Structure 1
Amino acid sequence: MSAYVEHANITIKQLENTIHFLQTAIPEFEIRKQGQGDHYRWCHLGTENSYIALQEVVEREESNRTPYLDIGINHIGIVIDSVSETRARLIDAGYQENELGADHPWRKRIYFFDKDGIEWEFIEYLSDDPAQRNDYSL
């Protein structure tokens, strides 16, 4: 068996907002299970093979985190079938695109922010060859 990431667990502000964002981007993502802990609500959203574990934050005034400078997640990358279709769905739903991402012969990437300001990267690979998919020369 090859190792792979089964899930990532992130804390978000409101479950419904993040569920809506991810299901807009990736309609095949389903709620695997959700519930209520002692102090927070949670949800596992994804496919039968992998998922994003979402946990609502315990309310406080501010988070004091600057992406790419402070410790924490900068973005989460998810492989998708079509960058253009995903971009259209997210823009139609009013989500903000981050203009990161350089052209590459073997992949397309887009970056969007959800309502909590969490950045998500969506990648469409244009090759099945691992050497091309993982090319960092450009």
Structure 2
Amino acid sequence: MTQFEHANITVPNIDAALAFLLNAAPDFQIKTDQTHQDSYRWVHIGNESCYFALQEPHSPSTSKDTRKPYQNIAVNHIGMIVDDLDNIKLNLLALGYEQNGDVTQEKHGRRLYFYDKAGFEWELIEYDTETLTDRYNYTD
């Protein structure tokens, strides 16, 4: 079975991305944080089974995101399964993160979207079943 291991993302501010991820995914930890001499910074953050490889832009002039999500070719959002959507939502709101829409209730779970401080969208999903065919059933 194929499964997700990592995604490599260039972010405008690694510290801002880390702050969001450490609150949105409480089981995540920083695995490595390195800046090689005369190079850019990169960090791996995740848990035992998956991680995000975050890196800074190679040039400060490219750190502004000018794309239009859902219109330009790029990643629109990344979804993460979480254990306690309600607590994570309250924590992120208290920290000043912007919620995008209301919680969407589905047959076997709920989902919610947030923007990090750089404007990147993250989808948080909480399932009420371990049965994968129920989680990913696209019919009513």
- The TM-score, its normalising length taken from structure 2, stands at 0.91
Offset of residue 64 of structure 1 = 2.4
Name the structure 2 match of 1:48.
48
Where 2:105 maps in the other structure, the secondary structure is coil
Counterpart-to-counterpart distance in 2, 1:129 and 1:9: 29
Give yes or no for the alignment of 1:72 onto 2:71: no
Structure 2 counterpart of 1:106:
108
Contact 2:104 2:112 in 1 (8 A): no
Q: Contact between 2:113 and 2:122, CA under 8 Å: does it hold in 1?
A: yes
The corresponding residue for 2:60 is 59
Partners of 1:118 and 1:87 lie apart in 2 by: 16
Partner residue, 2:10: 11
Moved over 6 A (4+): none
Report the alpha carbon displacement of residue 100 of structure 1 after superposing the two structures with TM.
Answer: 5.9
Equivalent position amino acid for 2:49 in 1 = N
Deviations 1:98-128 (A, max 9, x none): 0066321201101000011000001101111
Q: For residues 46-93 of structure 1, what are the alpha-carbon distances to aligned partners after superposition, in whole Å with 9 as ceiling and x for unaligned?
A: 012210110112312643200000011100001110110110110011
Does the Cα contact within 8 Å between 2:108 and 2:129 map onto a contact in 1?
yes
RMSD (CA atoms)? 1.5
Match of 2:97 among 95, 98, 111: 95
Q: What TM-score, normalized by structure 1, do the two folds share?
A: 0.92
Distance 1:130 1:5 in 2: 15
Inter-partner Cα distance in structure 1 for 2:54 and 2:88: 21
Counterpart of 2:131? Answer: 129
Q: Report deviation, 1:39.
A: 3.3
1:89 partner amino acid: N
Q: Percent identity?
A: 37
Q: Distance in 2 between matches of 1:31 and 1:63?
A: 24
Corresponding residue pairs, total: 137
